[in-house]
Amino acid sequence: MSPPAPTIVVLGVGNVLMGDEGVGVHTLASLEQRYDFPQHVHCVDGGTSTHELLGDLENLDHLIVIDAVSAGLPPAGLVRLEDAAVPAAFTTKFSPHQVGIADLLATLTFLGRAPKHVVLLGCEPIELTLDLQLSPKVAARVPELCSQVLAELATMGVTPTARS
């Protein structure tokens, strides 16, 4: 008998009303349009939610978060952070959900239900103004963010099926 499949969540977060702040949600939507995921991989549009996500994120084997991250990179630069480095990415806040995600991870840790492995894939935002669209440079990075998510899943033995 083979061991059970690991529980994995791909979480896209951000405010799609604030331009590049929504890059995580836009990236997740792109992935869901292009791929079918195995049953043990859950795609969650976290939007600007915080503690409402507690049940979705507890006791996971792997959590992949996609978000806009102000990391001092060039505009539209990409960053990958892992495990203990993830909460530090949310110390520079430009949106209320970022405080919530850091608090949510801390709450899960306190409860003993934190994901075993967390990866944050982020993009340095350019435009954080009222706008439903990503800036052109950030929008151009969405395919690369998708590829990074797929690469992370591949390290976990997961290959989503491309839709025709």
Domains of the chain: 8-158 (3.40.50.1450)
- What pTM was estimated for this model as a whole? 0.92
If you count them, how many residues does the chain have? Answer: 164
Tokens of 148: 């990074």
Question: pLDDT at position 91, please?
Answer: 60
Cα separation, 79 vs 77, whole angstroms: 7
Per-residue pLDDT tens over the stretch 83-141:
988 876 666 555 555 557 778 888 898 999 999 999 999 999 999 899 999 999 999 99
pLDDT given at position 29: 98
pLDDT value of position 8 = 98
pLDDT tens, position by position, 52-93 = 888 999 999 999 999 998 888 999 999 999 998 887 666 655
Q: How far apart are CA 89 and CA 81, in angstroms?
A: 8
